[in-house]
Amino acid sequence: MKPERWFDPAKKIFPYQVGFTGPPHDFDAAPSDFVRIAPRSVGAHGRLLHLPVYAHELKQRTDNFHLLEEVVHCMANAGADVVGQVGTNWSHAGGKTPDDIRAFCDRMGDTYQTPFHMAGMCLVEGLRELNAERIAVNAVYFWPDWRDGIVRFLKQAGFDVVYFGNFVDQGFYDTQDEVNECTWIFPGGLAAQSMTRVAESAPQADAIVVTGMPNWRDGEGIPQRTVSVARGLEAVIGKPIVSSDFALYWRVFKSLGAAPVGEQARLLTTLQS
């Protein structure tokens, strides 16, 4: 059982406490990004999954899926009110379906008395919140098997995927190896270029999905994730964007009963009314 003291707000450091877990061997921006758009009453804690050897392969995610339960258990014991999992591909790896992930997240929440949300599933929930049916998938830096896996997952959730493609498919890089060498950090201008190309390829789409956690350099060369640029990108393409990073933040805020501050993308603003 979750320690009884954590149900007493007077015993907690923050009125709202969030735990995030990131993939092995990645310094994860989620705790920092989340706190930047959260009210002062919200605090965040990060915990990496630990694997001595990790090469970002889908099989490794499948083989180590059990580590997610360890994280929820640890975060619940430490007083987290909600736990969020960073990394889109953990939801579809090994052929898992939206029903599989929904059942797993529900079991974690029931077992450790702490809601648990996975980024890949949050894409599904965020799209449903916006009543999107036809979607275009900007698979950004995703390897082909990652791209194909999340497209399958979204189709299984009932969406009509009218377009999907990564940076190589879109013609911005010649090979996947070139993309991989960027270590998920890309020129700031590529965000609008890529999103525009996807929107032009699927004018009938109700929303554009951005998979993964791409980082875009700002004017000072500092990487920032899609949550920081999504509002401007939506204005450029005239469609809502549902990205893995802020879909997760949206679902975490929703479980907390809290809302982000400042001007945000359309999905996050649904919590501000």
Per-residue pLDDT band at 64 (split at 50, 70, 90): very high
Q: Cα–Cα distance between 44 and 153 in angstroms, integer?
A: 29
- The CA distance from 75 to 3, in Å, is 11
Looking at residues 211-232, what average pLDDT do you find? 97
Which residue's structure tokens are 């204005």?
235
Contact 185, 217 (CB under 8 A): yes
Q: In this predicted structure, what is the pLDDT of residue 98?
A: 98
Is 80:18 a contact under the CB 8 Å cutoff?
Answer: yes
Question: How would you label 161-192 residue by residue, b for 16+ Cβ within 10 Å and e otherwise?
Answer: bbbbbbbbbbebbeeeeebeeeeeebebebbe
Would you give the distance in Å from CA 190 to the centre of its chain? Answer: 19
The pLDDT, as a whole number, for residue 273 is 79
User: What separation in angstroms does the CA of 177 have from each of 56, 73, 107, 210?
Assistant: 14, 37, 38, 20
- Using one digit for the tens of pLDDT, what is the confidence trace for 83-98? 999 999 999 999 999 9
* pLDDT at 129 exceeding the cut of 90: yes
Does 132 have pLDDT greater than 90? yes
Tokens matching residue 136: 């275009």
Predicted confidence at residue 138, as pLDDT, reads 98
pLDDT at residue 1, as a whole number: 86
What is the strand order of the sheet 207-210 is part of? 160-165, 134-138, 207-210, 241-243
> Strands 160-165, 207-210: parallel, antiparallel or unpaired by DSSP?
unpaired
pTM of the model: 0.97
pLDDT at 79 over 90: yes
Please, which pLDDT band fits residue 24 given cuts at 50, 70 and 90? very high
Alpha helical stretches, state H, the chain: 30-36, 58-63, 67-77, 98-112, 119-129, 144-156, 176-181, 188-201, 226-237, 244-256, 266-269
Dist CA 210 CA 43 (whole Å): 26
Please give the share of the chain, as a percent, with pLDDT higher than 70: 100
Please report the pLDDT score of residue 174 as a whole number: 98
Has residue 190 got a pLDDT over 90? yes
Q: What is the pLDDT of residues 40-50, one digit of tens each?
A: 999 999 999 99
Residue 74 scores a pLDDT above 90: yes
pLDDT digits (tens, 9 = 90+) for 207-220: 999 999 999 999 99
**pLDDT at position 166 over 90:** yes
How confident is residue 168, by pLDDT bands cut at 50, 70 and 90?
Answer: very high
Average of per-residue pLDDT across 187-203 = 98
Spatial contact of 190 and 172, defined as CB atoms under 8 Å apart:
yes
**Which domains does the chain show, CATH number per domain?**
4-120+246-269 (3.40.50.12500), 123-243 (3.40.50.12500)
